[in-house]
Structure 1
């Protein structure tokens, strides 16, 4: 995950914007001039909007991919009654969906795709707080739209499975395709811990592979590593709560089910469980940031390293 590739500059008297990328050769060919591919954008119209909101657009699209593949894998498993899916395929659906979402959005927005990641980065990596509500809104909208698309794709199968009923609980319940619900035996405290711990593991790995002093990871390796981490968490810890680990991934689809007829029970079921997938991942992310920065991270972005002094020395 990285920032926008190439500098973004205002260029020329008309206050146009340029995204530059160096396509020239350097250091060795006499008489060859390095060139830059510059995209010039006027201060109005769709192209300006596209540039101005490139980060929330990237978060929207990345979260859309995550939820589309993840919720789609649940729908195929549930609606086929296990014939065309199982827990492993669901774990892979979410893991691959996250990897692809990060690959698509990472260069432009950092590929957060999760409010817990965004808030953790704001506290421990100096991500601008002004962008936090913008990112989270884009993530929730991406998840909401993905749920709508999955519903449209599987609406015939949902009618075949449950008829006209849209139930949250019961033998023919289908609300769990979209949002997460805990096992009936889970306590509120147990569910909170499960969601927080799963997110702790996920964000711990994210912090590790984005640590500039840790083992360098390429633009391709990072999304795969993050996706495999989510798959491993699903396989190892997902049974009790459905491993949301992501407030946007859960709340966007939950809100969608409320609007299409599942009713207020999507929020009241299991003693108002809906708040846990929103709050617990944030707590897990903050603990992950504290643990990683306390034990491993040396960068000056973390408030835990405010007394660590960095010197720039020439290398012989």
Structure 2
């Protein structure tokens, strides 16, 4: 792998993930800080889907627009993506997510101060950490959270595998990012109640690291019985499983090319 080529790919992953998180986190901030006067749960789902779409359009032609370590690991396991690029890709994605969260925060910093009087909290009536990262519902166990993230990301990668398979969806062409965006909308609309559908370790860890250094403190890691590791590990496992399921039922069932 040419070093300059890898650098271009990492920069694309960084800026694509930055676009994704800036739009996504800013949208959630707008809804929460306005007490739902400027949006509701459905608008959050739609905005995240469009944010994913925009990130893919920004980075897709250079890096493939993984924008998600779960996608990167699944491609390494099932699609011959070079293992030597996995951790650099993931680092670029987390860095882009961190910077995207920072941008959304500074965009609405005065609104944050008006909402919580400068006392950054993870939970409670003035809790705002959930604007940036995901936290489990009070009833959700660690095991339940793992299952939630595993299934959500499995569905994500199962359908992404179908969208990216030219033998199956050759007519999609440049519409692939739109299809992926709609996929994220439906995941959010159907699988978001338990823990906010992270389905992306970078989308969760990068903003969580930002909140850790920006005033919310170590509680962002302690909350939910140290839930923070679940949206890192479970999506990677679920993504690998989702691509395997697609290959098992569809991808490897096409007639051999003559």
Normalised-by-shorter TM-score class: over 0.9
1:271 and 2:230 matched: no
Query: Counterpart in 2 of 1:208?
Result: 162
Measure, in 2, the Cα distance between the counterparts of 1:250 and 1:223. Answer: 21
Give the superposition deviation at 1:52: 5.1
By relative contact order (CA 8 Å, sep 6+), the higher-ranking structure is 2
Question: Of the candidates 243, 250, 257, which is equivalent to residue 296 of structure 1?
Answer: 250
What is the 5 A alignment of 1:109-258?
109-258=63-212
Inter-partner Cα distance in structure 2 for 1:215 and 1:286: 21
User: Aligned partners of 1:70 and 1:261: how far apart in 2?
Assistant: 20
**CA apart distance, 1:195:** 1.1
Unaligned runs of 5+ in 2: none
Once residues 220 and 155 of structure 1 are traced to their aligned partners in structure 2, the CA distance between those partners, rounded to angstroms, is 37
Give the match for residue 284 of structure 1. Answer: 238
**How many residues end up aligned between the 2 structures?**
258
**Unmatched segments (≥5 aa) in structure 1:** 1-7, 9-16, 18-47, 300-307
CA distance in 2, matches of 1:192, 1:238: 13
1:302 matched residue in structure 2: none
Q: Show the 5 A alignment for 1:66-77.
A: 66-77=20-31
Match of 1:33 in 2: none
Instruction: Describe the SS at the equivalent of 1:220.
Output: helix
Is contact 1:95-1:228 (8 Å) kept?
A: yes
Is residue 100 from structure 1 mapped to residue 57 from structure 2 by the alignment? no
Equivalent in the alignment of 2:13: 59
TM-score (norm 1): 0.78
Displacement after TM superposition at 1:309 (Å): 10
Greater helix fraction, Structure 1 or Structure 2: 2
Q: CA deviation at 1:139?
A: 0.2
Distance change in 2, residues 1:125/1:132 (3 Å): same
Aligned mate of 2:43, from 85, 89, 113: 89
Secondary structure class of the residue paired with 2:188: helix
Q: Give the SS at the match of 2:167.
A: coil
Shift of 1:212: 2.5
Q: With the length of structure 2 as denominator, give the TM-score of the two structures.
A: 0.95
- How large is the Cα RMSD of the aligned pairs? 1.9
Cα distance between partner residues in 1 of 2:174 and 2:29: 28
**1-side partners of 2:173 and 2:113: how far apart?**
42
1:190 CA displacement? 1.1
Task: Provide runs of 4+ in structure 1 moved above 4 Å.
Answer: 308-311
Alpha-carbon distance in 1 for matches of 2:250, 2:255: 16
Counterparts of 1:191 and 1:292 in 2: how far apart (Å)? 23
Q: Secondary structure at the match of 2:38?
A: coil
Higher Rg of the two aligned structures: 1
